Amino acid sequence: MIDQIIVSHSILVKVFLFFLVAGLFIPKMTSKNPLGFRKASFIYTMIFQAIATMVAFTGLVAIAMGEFGLTLSTMIMIAIWAALMFIEIKKYKLIKHSKVQDPQTHTLLKSAFIKISIIELLLVAVMVVLKVLEVKQVISLG
């Protein structure tokens, strides 16, 4: 049972990584439509939060059922999840409250969207690498 939960968690993390990479194309797809960029950003944020919450939930279920305890690895995952949610909400609020119809603002927001998305992607990738190294017993975060 615990193996299924861990596999589910792993699959959701991979889906999340794919979603983050796909999200990098939003500024390109909406380059001519500032209001479309705002709307796409809203939809992206909602899906982002849904997938991130699913990842966190399956992780918490795995911790509870597998009796892994609160290790350094778990604390890092929780901190990264909280940081991702905080960053994404701030990113969306910035876009929501900006004057996206102004060409300079729109260009600046598209650039910020890409840079912030890359940071989020790197945070998830770093956690994945740490977990892989921990599972292969290269490092110990326990």
The string of pLDDT tens digits covering residues 97-117 is 999 999 999 999 999 999 999
In a domain, 27, yes or no: yes
Residue 50, amino acid:
A
In a domain, 141, yes or no: no
In a domain, 72, yes or no: yes
Cα separation, 47 vs 52, whole angstroms: 8
Residue 66 has pLDDT above 90, yes or no: no
Residue 115: count of CB within 10 angstroms of its CB: 11
Residue 6: count of CB within 10 angstroms of its CB: 17
Residue 129 has pLDDT above 90, yes or no: yes
Mind giving me the DSSP string for 70-119? Answer: S-HHHHHHHHHHHHHHHHHHHHHHHHHTS-TTSHHHHHHHHHHHHHHHHH
Q: What is the pLDDT of residue 31?
A: 86
Residue 80 has pLDDT above 90, yes or no: yes
In a domain, 142, yes or no: no
Report field, pTM of the whole predicted structure over 0.85 = yes
Q: Considering just the CA atoms, what is the radius of gyration of the chain in Å?
A: 17
In a domain, 140, yes or no: no
Q: What is the pLDDT of residue 11?
A: 96
Mean pLDDT across 77-86: 95
Q: Are 121 and 22 in contact (CB under 8 A)?
A: no
In a domain, 19, yes or no: yes
Total tally of structural domains belonging to the chain: 1
Domain that holds residue 73: 2-135
Cα separation, 89 vs 42, whole angstroms: 10
